[in-house]
Structure 1
Amino acid sequence: MRSKWWGGLAALLTCAAAVLVAAQPAQAATGFSVSGTTIVDANGSPFVMRGVNHAHTWYPSQLSSSLSGAKALGSNTVRVVLASGQRWTKNEASDVSNVISQCKANRLICVLEVHDTTGYGEQSGAATLAQAVDYWISVKSALDGQESFVILNIGNEPYGNGTAASSWTADTKSAITRLRTAGFQHQIMVDAPNWGQDWQFIMRDNAASVFAADPNRNTVFSIHMYGVFDTAAEITDYLGRFQSAGLPVVVGEFGFDHSDGNPDEDTILATAQARGIGYLGWSWSGNGGGVEYLDMVTNFNAAALTTWGQRIFNGANGIKATSKEATVFGSQPSSPAPSSPSPSSSPSPSSSPSPSTPPPSGACTATYAVSNSWPGGFQGAVTVKAGSAAINGWTVTWTWPNGQRFSSTWNAAITTSGDTVTARSLGYNGSLAAGASTSWGFTGTFTSTNTAPTLACTTP
């Protein structure tokens, strides 16, 4: 992702009022368009982004597995990191074509972004927005005709916290104008300054004029929410001001923790869902520089969800429960591949209890599965499913039959006493609708035998 210093920016976030002029109606567009606060796909259907960021330019060999893994876990969009050549090796047009092709094969909308612009004015060697536009023009051949499947994110977090951030408005307008003059008909996404967090409200206060500078009226604003957005009030106020002004906004990056503070991810997810706002979590895998905890999966393995991965994919208002595929891909295949299940908060019919013995009203069931094993160790998951009525909390208990022990656990509160295990729901995954399910995971150790335990699930 990045190494950032936020330097107490949260303290500078205020509730200063801003007058945002309502956006004009979107003009006819090719592919994605804007209608008020809503992103609309090429079929005229509203589209709400639910997905992840993938650091393709640093991990090119992981593209295929990362896209298929993100899709299998319910994503409808992937924001793909590209490089323009100023800081990292340039992704040429042929590679961009491959990225788009693989996104389409996985029925994912592709948000493409140039990462070299990150922190310009504060980050040594960062590219300007003008240089990002030069890059897009140089790979235009790969983008033409893909307007129904690709959204163009001009440059990642294009200014740091220095005085250069004041240039964001003029430079962003210029970038949009140049792209349109060059013939780009794609929906354009623009990131906020201040390392994406807009704590000076430069993007918020000038969004209407930037939108008006786009002759296609097809620009979407992207806010990145980390430590600056550590309270519910800051999150709801910021997003609410865009919607009140009739301007489209998405949360283009966010995490559940960060070196600059602790974002309120529960409010981000809940507010985005309630208001129909897209979100793209950072990031699939491969983080460094002290923010490795932002990996959603370990070593690009979709079967190895981290704490953050469990939260964003399987938690309340998460991707699996709220994502809907873009209609431009047509109807779902009649026999989807095992690696790409339809995003759903419910398990497949084969994992449901027998119809003849349904769980009693208000009760729950728990199933245990080992997903990976190695000499002396293993990884597993427990899926908790509500019965014929909603539940507000669950407890799973068992006794290890062969003296197994946990090495690590996530997505549940675990207590043990000898061979006895008690796992309780957390604040975000205890409330389940009738028939809905959630999962928590663990790694463990064993000696010679690893027999599965018998589980019991109870509710308060």
Structure 2
Amino acid sequence: MRKRLAVAMTTLAALVLTLLVVVPAASAATGLRVRDGRLYEGNGTEFVMRGVNHAHTWYAGETSSFANIKATGANTVRVVLSDGTRWTRNSGADVANVISLCKTNKLICVLEVHDTTGYGEQSGAATLAKAADYWLSADIKAALAGQENYVVLNIGNEPFGNTGYADWTPHTSQAIQRLRAGGYEHVIMVDAPNWGQDWSFTMRDNAARVYAADPTGNTVFSIHMYGVFDTAAEVSAYLNAFVSARLPIVVGEFGHDHSDGNPDEDAIFATTQQLRLGYLTWSWSGNGGGVEYLDMVTAFNPAQLTPWGQRAVNGANGIRATSREATIYGGDPGDTTPPTAPGTPAASDVTSTSVRLTWAASTDNVRVTAYDVVRVSGATETPAGSSTTTSATLSGLTPSTAYTFAVYAKDAAGNRSARSATVSVTTSGGGGGTCAVTYRVAGQWQGGFQGDVTIRNTGTTPVSGWTLRWSFANGQTISHMWNAAHTQSGAQVSATNAGWNAMIAPNGTTSVGFIGTWNGTNAVPAAFTLNGSACTAG
């Protein structure tokens, strides 16, 4: 995702004339396949992607994200991999594990090589030929063998920038043909040039030619919609051009904002739903370089949906409302009957940071597959967890805080029940034991600084889940924090543990870092509390 060049879209009639060419009929394929411009499962059921991008190659330890993405209702995850050109190569063993995580969580897996991003303009980017080498390497082929029902092979992410993009057509065609000659029968996905946004219409105008280069006819095109697609008319014209030409298209990436302009995300959600086209939101978590606002959750914590995540998951035409699980996992598109509402949840085992909820089971005409727990605040609902049983333990809560929760049931077809009655609970105040905090300014420059905070558990019992609070005296503000999720209201700062550092053993420590701003004076905060308990200076 880089700054793209905006361009006026031509009329839909002109687009249709450009694309209405004779396209060869697709031959039979194993597993997922393309027919008449649509994606189908092996049993002939149409499959419409509703999913999320996940930056696995940079955050390989965040394997819980697959289950958390599934909990949003998603039926697909697009997984970032590397062929070793720009980042550490994802091995066949790692790719096999990714596929296993997708299958365990009943997600269709779109695998993409990210090293090709912006080739021709991005220094060090890989060619599509290099990406094809990766897919054809022995360990990767072994990992994908027999996975045609579950895996879509996305050759390379955004394979040309704004330089040399005229080569997209031959390079993409050659890569497809090499993969087919190498024995791949999977559906292949190809990204557009121009950093994925195709403002030059290179993919649009040459899609039929590239599609015809696939002897199996099982190629899907992917457009990335950021600043170029800032009006509903542009979104509709581009997508309708492919639909009218009977060429398969998905929105492989998009967000609610970007440095190159403000995409019309509402139009993207609405138009894809109207046209029965897939979409994959960017991205679950871990964004940097100034586009952190594209994180759907904060610090990989599924209980902390950002405004973009809230829109993508729970908004109109969003994932939760429109996703249907693949039938290979038991989903039944013919089932439109939702489960009954779950019983009123009961709260137990309440601590300063967690609560256990239990409820009576729902019934369904086929079967209930999962329950979604939501936090209710007025008319707003925020996902709080999910479970395949009639209980869930919710962690990461704030001490001495009132919460209201409710539960939904889902069936195998993706139908969702009415909401249960709600239960309210207030967490206890503290329980963090004794603590010591060391705060230091690690570096300072005009108007900015880096702060490091170390928390030590000086008690005799572990701290399980924590929130550290302090106040700034001189108007300092935090712009970015790592190893914790932060909020700031005026001078008051709250830092809550990430998933991997919730536990602090007796005499153990954990550290938090941040970037902040200051003006004139940058005094060290005078006091800290951990889960409501005062800490000494460490």
Q: Classify the TM-score, shorter chain.
A: 0.7 to 0.9
Map 1:203-222 → 2, pairs under 5 A: 203-222=203-222
Q: Per the alignment, in what secondary structure is the counterpart of residue 67 of structure 1? A: helix
Query: What do the CA deviations read for 1:140-161 (whole angstroms, capped 9, x no partner)?
Result: 1111110110000000000001
- The answer to whether structure 1 residue 374 and structure 2 residue 398 are counterparts is yes
- The answer to whether structure 1 residue 154 and structure 2 residue 155 are counterparts is yes
Q: Per the alignment, in what secondary structure is the counterpart of residue 220 of structure 1? A: strand
Q: 1:74 to 1:62 in 2, by over 3 A?
A: same
Query: What do the CA deviations read for 1:201-257 (whole angstroms, capped 9, x no partner)?
Result: 000000001101100000000000001000000000000000000000000000011
- The answer to whether structure 1 residue 168 and structure 2 residue 168 are counterparts is yes
Contact 1:22–1:246 (8 Å) recurs in 2: no
Q: Any runs of at least 4 consecutive aligned residues in structure 1 with deviations exceeding 6 A, and if so which?
A: 343-347, 364-371, 381-385
Q: Which residue of 1 aligns with 2:342?
A: 349
Q: Which residue of 2 aligns with 1:140?
A: 141
Contact 2:324–2:331 (8 Å) recurs in 1: no
Q: Which residue of 2 aligns with 1:180?
A: 180
- The answer to whether structure 1 residue 73 and structure 2 residue 50 are counterparts is no
Query: What do the CA deviations read for 1:42-74 (whole angstroms, capped 9, x no partner)?
Result: 2211000001000000000002x1000010110
Contact 1:114–1:156 (8 Å) recurs in 2: yes
State the shift of 1:302 in Å. Answer: 1.0
Letter in 1 for 2:146: G
State the shift of 1:24 in Å. Answer: 2.8
Alpha-carbon separation, structure 1, partners of 2:236 and 2:79 = 27
Task: Please state which structure has a larger fraction of its residues in strand.
Answer: 2
- The answer to whether structure 1 residue 51 and structure 2 residue 75 are counterparts is no
Q: Per the alignment, in what secondary structure is the counterpart of residue 162 of structure 2? A: coil
Q: 1:266 to 1:346 in 2, by over 3 A?
A: farther
Q: 1:292 to 1:351 in 2, by over 3 A?
A: farther
Q: 1:102 to 1:344 in 2, by over 3 A?
A: farther
Q: Which residue of 2 aligns with 1:101?
A: 100
Alpha-carbon separation, structure 2, partners of 1:379 and 1:14 = 54
- For structure 2, which runs of at least 5 residues remain unmatched after alignment? 346-377, 385-393, 409-425, 427-528, 533-538
Q: 1:367 to 1:147 in 2, by over 3 A?
A: closer
Q: Which residue of 2 aligns with 1:270?
A: 270
Map 1:312-323 → 2, pairs under 5 A: 312-323=312-323
Larger RCO, structure (CA 8 Å, separation 6 or more): 1
Q: Per the alignment, in what secondary structure is the counterpart of residue 151 of structure 1? A: strand
- The answer to whether structure 1 residue 289 and structure 2 residue 251 are counterparts is no
Q: 1:137 to 1:73 in 2, by over 3 A?
A: same
State the shift of 1:99 in Å. Answer: 0.5
Q: 1:274 to 1:89 in 2, by over 3 A?
A: same
Alpha-carbon separation, structure 1, partners of 2:89 and 2:261 = 32
State the shift of 1:374 in Å. Answer: 3.4
Q: Which residue of 1 aligns with 2:84?
A: 85
Q: Which residue of 2 aligns with 1:411?
A: none
Alpha-carbon separation, structure 1, partners of 2:88 and 2:380 = 48
Letter in 2 for 1:192: A
Q: Which residue of 2 aligns with 1:309?
A: 309
Contact 2:116–2:126 (8 Å) recurs in 1: yes
Q: 1:161 to 1:293 in 2, by over 3 A?
A: same
State the shift of 1:380 in Å. Answer: 5.7
Larger Cα Rg: Structure 1 or Structure 2?
A: 2
- Match 2:6 to one of 10, 22, 25: 10
Contact 2:9–2:237 (8 Å) recurs in 1: no
Alpha-carbon separation, structure 2, partners of 1:35 and 1:100 = 25
Q: Per the alignment, in what secondary structure is the counterpart of residue 62 of structure 2? A: helix
Letter in 2 for 1:96: V
Map 1:124-135 → 2, pairs under 5 A: 124-135=123-134
Query: What do the CA deviations read for 1:119-168 (whole angstroms, capped 9, x no partner)?
Result: 00000000000000000001111111101100000000000011x10000
Alpha-carbon separation, structure 2, partners of 1:70 and 1:347 = 24
Contact 1:366–1:383 (8 Å) recurs in 2: no
Alpha-carbon separation, structure 1, partners of 2:212 and 2:97 = 33
Q: Per the alignment, in what secondary structure is the counterpart of residue 250 of structure 1? A: strand
State the shift of 1:35 in Å. Answer: 1.1
State the shift of 1:344 in Å. Answer: 11
Q: 1:38 to 1:244 in 2, by over 3 A?
A: same
Contact 1:367–1:382 (8 Å) recurs in 2: no
TM-score by length of 1: 0.74
Q: Per the alignment, in what secondary structure is the counterpart of residue 303 of structure 1? A: coil
Map 1:114-133 → 2, pairs under 5 A: 114-133=113-132
Alpha-carbon separation, structure 1, partners of 2:305 and 2:403 = 11
Q: Which residue of 2 aligns with 1:423?
A: none
Alpha-carbon separation, structure 2, partners of 1:61 and 1:27 = 39
Q: 1:381 to 1:283 in 2, by over 3 A?
A: farther
Q: Which residue of 1 aligns with 2:367?
A: none
Map 1:23-38 → 2, pairs under 5 A: 23-38=23-38
Alpha-carbon separation, structure 1, partners of 2:381 and 2:85 = 50
Alpha-carbon separation, structure 2, partners of 1:82 and 1:344 = 38
Q: 1:379 to 1:42 in 2, by over 3 A?
A: farther
State the shift of 1:384 in Å. Answer: 12
Alpha-carbon separation, structure 2, partners of 1:217 and 1:121 = 28
State the shift of 1:38 in Å. Answer: 1.2
Alpha-carbon separation, structure 2, partners of 1:347 and 1:315 = 22
Task: Please state which structure has a larger fraction of its residues in helix.
Answer: 1
TM-score by length of 2: 0.64
- The answer to whether structure 1 residue 240 and structure 2 residue 236 are counterparts is no
Letter in 2 for 1:146: Q
Alpha-carbon separation, structure 2, partners of 1:344 and 1:253 = 31
State the shift of 1:366 in Å. Answer: 8.1
- The answer to whether structure 1 residue 328 and structure 2 residue 328 are counterparts is yes
- For structure 1, which runs of at least 5 residues remain unmatched after alignment? 333-342, 353-363, 386-399, 401-444, 449-460
Q: Per the alignment, in what secondary structure is the counterpart of residue 209 of structure 2? A: helix
State the shift of 1:11 in Å. Answer: 3.9
Q: 1:45 to 1:367 in 2, by over 3 A?
A: closer
Contact 2:75–2:108 (8 Å) recurs in 1: yes
Q: 1:316 to 1:93 in 2, by over 3 A?
A: same
Alpha-carbon separation, structure 2, partners of 1:58 and 1:323 = 27
- The answer to whether structure 1 residue 113 and structure 2 residue 112 are counterparts is yes
Map 1:381-400 → 2, pairs under 5 A: none
Q: Per the alignment, in what secondary structure is the counterpart of residue 350 of structure 1? A: coil
How big is the alpha-carbon RMSD for the aligned residues of Structure 1 and Structure 2? 3.3
